[in-house]
A and B are shown apart, each in its own frame.
Chain A
Amino acid sequence: MPITSEHAGRRYPPTRPYRVSAEKIAEFAGALGGVDGGDPNPAYGGERPIAPPTFAAVIASRAWDALFDDPDLGLALRRTIHADQRFTWQRPLCDGDTVLATLTIDSVRTRGRLDWVGVRVDLDTTDGEHVCTATSTLLHTRPEEDAA
């Protein structure tokens, strides 16, 4: 059963709480680079490290599972391309934050076998503080039998 514009507005329950740790921040900053090493910005270490801004994707991507697990939509990760990504931050993610990721389908456009699915993931602490919004366009190719 393919995804349609009728699914815009569908919101899923939040993911399990994700605990941001100094160790994971260091590992992620260390991977933002190449043979000469990762990102040495001192803000990502020390007493109270903050996470590199795009660390938000590590948590947001957990919420995408809901999309691929929803039998109403007929989406498959292996047929999906990440077309664009945007983040807005109220503040950086920090060591010690416990974060919930909540996914909403914002828009669906279909032409032939291609679905453009606009999704939004809100990242909020378990205390209810909004930290970041991650919006993405996912380009999905339908199996041939589902062409619109």
Chain B
Amino acid sequence: MSGETEPARTFVASAVTVGDDLPAMVVRLTRPDVVRYSGASTDLNPIHYSDRHALAIGLDGVIAHGMWTMGTALRVVTDWCVDPARVVGYGVRFTRPVRVPDTDEGVEVRFAGQVTAVADGVATVTLEATCGDDKVLGAARAEVRLD
């Protein structure tokens, strides 16, 4: 976690081109990971740990935080551009919930990104987050400063 053994990464801002694919990422998420995000974010909504509360509002069970999905998706961008301080804007729509079953396996969420615009020293990365066949984020775009 400290990054001490991380290989040196490089990011050549001048080489960023529309159509560049960013390395994709698959994250396996279990109930303990959701509880960890609840504590870290201070979002203690019970639909993120209690099936009873989730069912009461019409969900099929405990779901991950939308902000977890948003924040974890951005790792595709910050792993690529190395310095998170380059991120100057980021927006998403929360289209579908990520249901997290109470199993050791949990659920897999896949994240991918592509450079879809480069203008005025800023690259726009369009992100995708999918869980099974569901797109769980819509219109997910991050703006990355290139200078």
Binding site for B on A (CB under 8 A): 24, 26-28, 30-45, 50, 52-54, 57-58, 61, 77-78, 81-89, 91-92
Contact = CB atoms under 8 A, between A and B. Distances in A.
Contact of B106 (A26, A35, A45, A83): A35
Given A35-B106, A57-B41, A89-B87, 14 more contacts: A27-B40, A30-B40, A32-B68, A33-B27, A33-B72, A40-B3, A43-B85, A50-B84, A52-B78, A84-B94, A85-B66, A85-B67, A86-B91, A87-B91
Interface of B: 1-3, 6, 27-30, 33, 36-37, 39-43, 45, 57, 66-68, 70-72, 74-75, 78-79, 83-85, 87-94, 106, 109, 139
Contact of B87 (A26, A34, A53): A53
A81 B33 CA distance: 22
Q: Which of A34, A39, A78 has the most CB of B within 10 A?
A: A34
Nearest to A39: B75
Could you tell me the dominant secondary structure of chain A's interface residues? Answer: mixed
Given A88-B88, A91-B85, A54 B67 contact: yes
Given A28-B41, A52-B84, A58-B42, A34 B33 contact: yes
Given A39-B78, A52-B84, A85-B70, A31 B33 contact: yes
Contacts of B139: 84
